[in-house]
Amino acid sequence: MNRPTPHETDYTQWATDTAKLLRERRFDCVDIVHLAEEIEDLGKRQRQALKSNLRVLMMHLLKWDYQPEKRSGSWRATIREHRRRILDILEDSPSLKSDLTVVLPQCFTVARLQAADENGLPLEAFPNLCPYSEIDVLQE
């Protein structure tokens, strides 16, 4: 039976120990396999955060644009907050900006469904294709 690794039993301690080993240049003691996986996961988490924030932003943009009679300060605040989060992600990871052209339509599909569900509107109340450009998403 295999014994669990420190990475599996206490992630925080494993991360602290790994950082210490790297600073001490004790590379032969580093759990390279798990370290490489964690580094890859960091990039995935940034991409997932970008997509999540894009979905929320576009859902609220749809509500804002297609239900002007229901506009509220809360919707405006949500739009601003998720734009800020997206800009923060892109500032920290500029390479993700090139992903926007691919992920915008994907995120719009989900945002459209969420907007319809949340507002009890038929899906057809919203456009089939993403009406928002990168500029629309990133600027007030």
The answer as to whether 19 is a domain residue is no
Higher pLDDT, 119 or 51: 51
Name, in order, each residue with C-beta under 8 angstroms of 80's C-beta and a sequence gap of 6 or more: 140
Tokens matching residue 112 = 């459209």
Q: What is the DSSP string of 54-90?
A: HHHHHHHHHHHHH-GGG--HHHHHHHHHHHHHHHHHH
The answer as to whether 117 is a domain residue is yes
> Is 70 exceeded by the pLDDT of residue 55?
yes
> Is 80 exceeded by the pLDDT of residue 134?
yes
Region 22-51: mean pLDDT is: 92
Angle made by CA atoms 121, 54, 96, in degrees to the nearest 5: 155
The answer as to whether 108 is a domain residue is yes
The answer as to whether 51 is a domain residue is yes
> Is 90 exceeded by the pLDDT of residue 21?
no
Residue 108: its pLDDT value, please?
98
> How many domains does one find in the chain?
1
> Is 80 exceeded by the pLDDT of residue 118?
yes
Residue-range definition of the domain harbouring residue 124: 47-138
> Is 80 exceeded by the pLDDT of residue 100?
yes
The answer as to whether 9 is a domain residue is no
The answer as to whether 88 is a domain residue is yes
